[in-house]
Amino acid sequence: MLKEKMIKLWENSREILRKIGIGILLIITVGAAFVGGFVYRKETAPKVKGIEMVKIDKSQVNLALDEHNHLIVIERATGNYTVYDDSIGVAIFKIYARNIKLTE
């Protein structure tokens, strides 16, 4: 009688244990895929160099804006110039305009 109850209990619990095992296997698979994707993205992402900040004395350069609001920084000694995006030109112009207005 006890043996029959144990066999019946085992047969009933086998299906539940199988479903739990499949669920655990699914969770492990999803977790491994997530970790693998994270590691892959980190390893294959292009390495971006940091922006190198250069301090230039104001007396060494001239600042200009072209007709498209691009900022142009011209070195007085060599005549070499660097053109920056229009948003940078507008931002620098606003800073200068604010300083001029405040000092007058």
CATH number of 58-103: 3.30.160
> Do the Cβ atoms of 96 and 71 come closer than 8 Å?
no
Q: Where are the beta strands (DSSP E) in the chain?
A: 61-65, 71-75, 81-84
pTM (global) more than 0.95 = no
Give pLDDT tens digits for 92-103. Answer: 778 878 877 665
Domain ranges of the chain: 1-48, 58-103
Query: What is the rounded distance in angstroms from the CA atom of residue 61 to the CA atom of residue 77?
Result: 8
- pLDDT exceeds 90 at position 25: yes
